[in-house]
């Protein structure tokens, strides 16, 4: 399987408002793929469609080989354990401390002993760059950037093959943001991950993305590596990469 995501002629409408009209894209295995585009062009919406949070009105979508048009409950549950999703603000469960937030999938889907769960949770907390002391804290007691890192640790706990990130570096300080980029790259090589992310962070785009899709005017107006995309004739592309060497 060389393509982890294939979107074919996706149509999305909210009432009369058309967000996507025959949108096509694909994500290859092992790559870090970026969704870019002006505000309101439907990046978050597209990502939600990929993770079964929202229905599209036309076309077909395949994720990790599962056809989302015909997927049943059983298969969907199977699929959900193979990806990790990081929401823009972490979306941690407020009634659980950070430790339990990260451990919850392990407890629900496996019978791993608590000792090994403690090892796994501690490890994930370490690789996302958090202090071990956050384990006992509740989401309301930590900062926005820490919530994001904890959310990433939770998304990584089942060692997913596919990771979805919605604006992972927004709200992080520049140093943490660069660390985040390095972390993403490290994870990708070490764990054979494929990553789809929405981002507006130019440094992050340059540092991490292998391929990007520019969403504009309800379609993908350009797809490919950064150099190819920068060369396309599009208003958004021109102003977004303005002043950056290509």
Partner 1 sequence: MLSFNGNSLSLHAKVQGDTVVITVRGDMNVKSVALIESLLAELLSHPLPSKVFVWHLETLTRFDSAAALLLYTFDMKARSLGATCKFHAQTNHQHILDALYHRDYQSGGVTDDRLGMIASVGKMTIQKYHSFKDFLAFVGELFAALTIYLLNPKSIRFKEIYHAIEESSINALGIIALTTFLIGVVLAYQSSVQLKMYGANIFIVDMLGISVLRELAPLIAAIVIAGRSGSAFAAQIGVMKITEELDAMKTMGFDPYLFLVLPRIIALMIMMPLIIFFADVMAMLGGMVVASIELGISAQLFLDRFNEAVAMKHFFIGISKGPFFGFIIAAIGIFRGLMVENDTRSIGINTTKSVVEAIFMVIICDAVFSIIYTNMGI
Alpha helices for 157-173 (secondary structure H): none
- Select from 38, 13, 31 the least CA-distant residue to 23: 13
Given the rule CB under 8 A, which of 40-48, 59-67, 110-118, 173-181 is the region that contacts partner 1?
Answer: 110-118
For the chain, the straight-line distance linking the first and the last C-alpha, in angstroms and rounded, comes to 32
Q: Using CB under 5 A, pick the residue from 21, 24, 28, 44 that binds Mg ion.
A: 44
Q: Tell me the C-alpha distance between 180 and 137, whole Å.
A: 22
Chain-centre distance for alpha carbon 66: 18
Binding to ligand ATP, residues 25-64 (CB under 6 A): 37, 39-45
**CB 61 to ligand ATP: min, Å:** 15
Q: Tell me the C-alpha distance between 169 and 49, whole Å.
A: 22
Residue 140 binds partner 1, judged by CB under 8 A: yes
Q: Tell me the C-alpha distance between 175 and 173, whole Å.
A: 6
Cβ proximity to partner 1: between 141 and 203 the closer is: 141
> Residue 111: which of partner 1, Mg ion, ligand ATP, none does it interact with, CB under 5 to 8 A by kind?
partner 1
Cβ proximity to ligand ATP: between 61 and 157 the closer is: 61
Structure tokens at 78: 């199977």
Residue 74 binds partner 1, judged by CB under 8 A: no
> Residue 231 contacts by C-beta under 8 Å, 6 or more apart in sequence?
246
> Residue 246: which of ligand ATP, Mg ion, partner 1, none does it interact with, CB under 5 to 8 A by kind?
none
Q: Tell me the C-alpha distance between 244 and 202, whole Å.
A: 9
**CB 111 to ligand ATP: min, Å:** 38
* Closest chain position to Mg ion (CB): 44
Structure tokens at 145: 């950037």
- Select from 246, 218, 213 the least CA-distant residue to 231: 246
> Residue 117: which of Mg ion, partner 1, ligand ATP, none does it interact with, CB under 5 to 8 A by kind?
partner 1
Cβ proximity to ligand ATP: between 44 and 82 the closer is: 44
Cβ proximity to ligand ATP: between 48 and 149 the closer is: 48
Residues contributing to the site for Mg ion (CB under 5 A): 44
């Amino acid at each position: 399987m060389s393509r982890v995501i294939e979107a074919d002629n996706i149509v999305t409408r909210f009432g009369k408002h058309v967000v996507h009209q025959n949108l096509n894209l694909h994500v290859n295995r092992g790559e870090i793929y970026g969704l870019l585009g002006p505000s309101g062009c439907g990046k978050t919406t597209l990502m939600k469609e990929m993770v079964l949070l929202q229905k599209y009105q036309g076309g077909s979508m395949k994720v990790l080989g599962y056809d989302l048009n015909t997927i049943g409950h059983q298969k969907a549950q199977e699929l959900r354990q193979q990806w990790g999703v990081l929401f823009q603000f972490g979306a941690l469960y407020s009634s659980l401390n950070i430790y339990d937030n990260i451990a919850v999938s392990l407890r629900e889907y496996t019978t791993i002993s608590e000792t090994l769960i403690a090892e796994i949770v501690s490890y994930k907390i370490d690789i996302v760059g958090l202090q071990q002391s956050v384990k006992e804290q509740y989401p309301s007691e930590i900062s926005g950037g820490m919530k994001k890192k904890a959310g990433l640790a939770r998304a990584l706990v089942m060692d997913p093959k596919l990771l979805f990130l919605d604006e992972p570096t927004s709200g992080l300080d520049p140093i943490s943001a660069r660390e985040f980029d390095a972390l993403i790259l490290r994870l990708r090589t070490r764990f054979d991950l494929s990553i789809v992310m929405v981002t507006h962070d130019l440094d992050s785009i340059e540092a991490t993305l292998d391929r990007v899709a520019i969403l504009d005017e309800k379609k993908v107006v350009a797809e490919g590596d950064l150099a190819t995309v920068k060369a396309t004739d599009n208003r958004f592309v021109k102003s977004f990469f303005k002043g950056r060497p290509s």
